[in-house]
Amino acid sequence: MDGYERVFDDRTPGVEDYEPTASYLSYTVGLGLAIVATIASFVVSQTDLLWAPGIPVGLLVLAIAQIGVHLVFFLHLGSGSESTNNILALAFGVIIVFLVIGGSIWIIANLNENTMPSADVLNMRQ
Partner 1 sequence: MTVATVETRPTAVSATLASELTVGKRTAGGPSPKRTVVAYGFWIFILSDMVMFAALFAAYAVMAGNTAGGPTGAQLFNLRSVFIETMCLLLSSYTCGLGALSAERRNSALFFLFAALTFVLGAVFLLIEGTEFAGMVARGAGPERSAFLSSFFTLVGTHGAHVSIGLVWLVYLAAQVKTKGLRPAVLRRLLCWSLFWHALDIVWVGVLTLVYLMGVT
Establish if 85 lies at the interface with partner 1 (CB under 8 A): yes
| 3-state SS, residue 44 | helix
Q: Residue 70 to residues 6, 26, 56: CA-CA distances in angstroms? A: 29, 11, 21
- Going 29 to 31 to 37 to 42, the CA torsion angle's sign is negative
Site for partner 1 in 14-43 (CB under 8 A): 14-15, 17-20, 22-24, 27-28, 30-31, 34-35, 38, 41-42
Instruction: With beta carbons less than 8 A apart as the criterion, state whether 77 and 83 touch.
Output: yes
- Per CB under 8 A, the list member of 36, 51, 62, 121 interacting with partner 1 is 62
User: What is the C-alpha separation between 56 and 44, in angstroms, rounded?
Assistant: 9
Q: What is the CA 103 to chain-centroid distance, rounded?
A: 18
Establish if 4 lies at the interface with partner 1 (CB under 8 A): yes
Per CB under 8 A, residues contacting partner 1 are 1-2, 4-6, 8-15, 17-20, 22-24, 27-28, 30-31, 34-35, 38, 41-42, 44-46, 55-56, 59-60, 62-63, 66-67, 70-71, 74-75, 80-82, 85-86, 89-90, 92-93, 96-97, 100-101, 103-105, 108
